[in-house]
């Protein structure tokens, strides 16, 4: 006579509704949950789940996390091919929004001028965002360099410092060159104070390379 085992079979967690994050090692459950809550891929997964449900239904939690983690890992290596493809697709999607909003603006032109104006504003916003997306894609793909000049004025000392921020499409994005360029830009490289027409007042000091 054989006896039946009373042990319950443990079912593996459902990957569609249960997030499995490999490599998360923690001392206790609370710390493990904190690591997952701060994980970039997990945060992106949460947002994507909310905004893709209407179009694609409920996606697998673990599957979505794994795909996002792969893209993030590739970006860390410098491979931005997915990001370039995403921006290219978004530029076309934004152009579709522009076309539809412009059509609605034209349909309401004359009789419903307020509605027409609102639709046209939305159309132009989509157009501007599409253009900005294409420009960002161009910088990302071709490494175009962009220089943004910032002017800092110290009200206490009266010093004006002009610094350049150089942005490129690859490495060095947001690099800051903190060297002052006020003298060269103002045409005075002597380092002497610039005096006003009122000789009785003190000269305004100007920052120099020193």
List 149's β-bridge partners, or say none.
164
pLDDT of residue 182: 44
Task: Name residues whose C-beta falls within 8 Å of residue 210's C-beta, 6 or more positions apart in sequence.
Answer: 191
pLDDT digits (tens, 9 = 90+) for 120-147: 999 999 999 999 999 999 998 887 555 5
> In this model, does residue 208 exceed pLDDT 80?
no
DSSP-H helix ranges across the chain: 29-38, 40-56, 61-76, 81-107, 113-142, 182-185
58-62, 111-115, 122-126: range with highest mean pLDDT: 122-126
CA distance 6 to 11: 15
Question: What's the average model confidence in pLDDT over 9-27?
Answer: 61
Question: What's the average model confidence in pLDDT over 167-176?
Answer: 49
Look up residue 113 and give its two tokens: 């001028």
Task: Name residues whose C-beta falls within 8 Å of residue 37's C-beta, 6 or more positions apart in sequence.
Answer: 43
């Amino acid at each position: 006579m054989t006896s039946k085992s009373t042990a319950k079979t443990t079912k593996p967690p459902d990957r569609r509704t249960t997030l499995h994050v490999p490599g998360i090692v923690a001392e206790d459950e609370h710390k493990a949950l904190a690591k997952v809550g701060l994980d970039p891929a997990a945060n992106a997964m949460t947002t994507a789940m909310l905004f893709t449900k209407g179009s694609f239904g409920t996606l697998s939690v673990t599957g979505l996390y794994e795909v996002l983690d792969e893209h993030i890992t590739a970006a860390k290596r410098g491979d931005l091919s997915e990001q370039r493809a995403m921006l290219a697709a978004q530029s076309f999607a934004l152009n579709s929004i522009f076309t539809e909003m412009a059509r609605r603006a034209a349909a309401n032109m004359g009789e419903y001028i307020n509605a027409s104006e609102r639709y046209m504003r939305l159309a132009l916003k989509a157009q501007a965002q599409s253009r900005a997306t294409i420009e960002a894609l161009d910088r990302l793909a071709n490494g175009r360099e962009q220089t943004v000049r910032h002017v800092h004025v110290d009200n206490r000392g009266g010093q004006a410092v002009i610094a350049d921020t150089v942005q490129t499409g690859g490495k060095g994005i947001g690099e800051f060159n903190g060297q002052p360029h006020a003298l060269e830009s103002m045409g005075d490289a002597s380092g002497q104070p610039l005096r006003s027409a009122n000789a009785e007042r003190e000269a305004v000091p100007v920052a120099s390379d020193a």
